[in-house]
Structure 1
């Protein structure tokens, strides 16, 4: 923007973005989101992700703008931040700050899909976060693993570490985290019969087949462990 300092230009961008978000505001969606557990923000405009992607494309990749948007206690601003943050300037220490600020599953999903999976140190952070004691940090770790496994970016040692961590974290008291952990385990098994056999053997090793509440999970994984005809 002509005549504005870089800081003033960023502030103006944020004002413009908030005006656009207000114009697209969906009160019904906003209330529904809060009622369904998407909370922890001062403001929720209820704007859908498709519209946010269109808005992000207008601004392109912009580190300074993304950093300021992330500081806003506004759902849509934070999602936009994950869309416009350049990978090359998103250092590990910034990733740790952002992941510590995530308070909803939706934001964990968006951050991993739009940004975290493309980081050059994504694998390192995935395992670090999976072992964290905070539920949403763990969730980001497992969601990140799902993306990385699909791209075959794990070696055998990493896969073994993933299985051990998943089996331990599955017993969390957090229902949302448990579902994400199970999703990551299912994705792992679906990738290959070898993966499924490895996971099933570990589940049995931990006695899951002897527990009536856990045996259905073992049986589900067993279907993927069968040799392909």
Structure 2
């Protein structure tokens, strides 16, 4: 780590004390959102901070290593998408332990990667809950951008969503359901396909 990056990291970590929201931090802990440190700083304030620092690969790498919620959120905001490759995505995903971080990583960063679609399809079929969750979040973003899957992609998605929606993991079911709704927004034809594929679940 360069001296400049080290100083920025130190400055950022110190600034969180001033922005601390004890009520939000306590509420997150009660909901099982566990980090070594969680200052409860709202995401919009972290977005303002990210705008001040701009895109910074080296700083993002160091922030993500910290077991501090705000550092990791900030990392998703300042990492240049074009610098993320498959190996780095794998390294980052290994540290995702909360639903919030899975959602923010997909929303702030992963949806902008050139290989986002292949990641999303790979992850919704994963046996790891956090990867599945992030995969559905990512796919929902891509559908919302108008990414229309080919026939194989449609079948893969609806087959996997069907399995997930029959499971008992509520956050995962919620993510899959929202993803199905985004898929249906792509047009009447695809909505009809989804209704037919998920007919026995009676959710559409």
The match for 1:165 is 160
Distance in 2 between residues matched to 1:66 and 1:115, nearest whole Å: 12
SS in structure 2 of the partner of residue 32 of structure 1: helix
Q: Which has the higher contact order (CA 8 A, sep 6+)?
A: 2
Kept after mapping to 2: 8 A contact 1:100/1:137: no
CA distance in 1, matches of 2:178, 2:32: 20
Equivalent residue for 1:225?
A: none
Q: CA deviation at 1:42?
A: 0.2
1:61 aligns with 2:55: yes
In structure 2, what is the Cα distance between the partners aligned to 1:63 and 1:175? 35
Of 171, 176, 179, the residue aligned with 1:181 is 176
- Cα RMSD (Å): 1.3
SS in 1 for 2:185: helix
Query: 1:47 Cα shift?
Result: 0.5
Q: Contact 1:69–1:77 at 8 Å: present in 2 too?
A: yes
Deviations along 1:119-159, one digit per CA (max 9) or x if unpaired, are: 01000101111111110100111110011111222332222
Confirm or deny that 1:155 pairs with 2:143. Answer: no
**1:88 and 2:82 are equivalent in the alignment:** yes
Aligned-partner Cα distance in 1 for 2:148–2:120: 11
- Map of 2:96 onto structure 1: 102
Q: Which runs of 4+ in 1 moved over 3 A?
A: none
CA deviations on 1:69-101 (whole Å, 9 max, x unpaired) are: 000000000000000001111111111221222
Query: Match for residue 113 of structure 1?
Result: 107
Post-superposition shift, 1:178?
A: 1.0
Deviates more, 1:46-55 or 1:147-156: 147-156
SS state at 1:191 partner: coil
Checking the alignment, whether the CA contact within 8 Å between 1:56 and 1:84 is kept in structure 2 is yes
Rg larger in structure:
1
Structure 1 stretch 109-118 or stretch 194-203: which is displaced more? 194-203
CA distance in 2, matches of 1:193, 1:146: 17
- TM-score relative to the length of structure 1: 0.85
Match of 2:160, SS state, is helix
SS in structure 1 at match of 2:189: helix
